Amino acid sequence: MQVQDTIIALATPQGVGAIAVIRLSGPDAIRMCNGVFRGKDLEKQDSHTIHFGTLRDGERIIDEVLVSLFIAPRSFTKENVVEISTHGSSYIIQQVLKLFLRQGAVWLSRESLHKGPF
């Protein structure tokens, strides 16, 4: 993993709740999310705001989501952070993760999440 990578991780326990939070962190987090999010243009929104819309893989809707934006340097990690609140189904979680991994996000395991500020 390089310092300039945008990383992705599941921030909530998988299979436990009705909602899952998937976190993107890094320089391209907002751009990556904006490319698959249908709702407001995330690149034109303020930090510390939440937006309703859908995540799409092409024309296929994966899920209705809430996207929380934390724009650098006003985040815990001092970089761009996007938190996607989606339904907690294992299928939906996997589809969302695969979508961002195909865009170049780097997977961060849950174990690694506990080792650093992410």
Domain boundaries, the chain: 7-107
Q: What is the CATH number of domain 7-107?
A: 3.30.1360.120
Is the predicted pLDDT of residue 76 greater than 90, yes or no?
Answer: no
pTM reported for the whole predicted model: 0.88
Phi, psi of 56 (to 5 degrees): -130, 145
Amino acid at 18: A
Distance CA 46, CA 49 (A): 6
* pLDDT score recorded for residue 15: 74
Q: What is the mean pLDDT of residues 76-89?
A: 95
* pLDDT score recorded for residue 106: 95
* pLDDT score recorded for residue 3: 58
Q: What is the mean pLDDT of residues 88-96?
A: 95
Span 20-71, pLDDT tens digits = 999 999 999 999 999 999 999 999 999 999 999 999 999 999 999 999 999 9
Distance CA 45, CA 101 (A): 24
Query: Which one has a higher pLDDT value, 22 or 108?
Result: 22
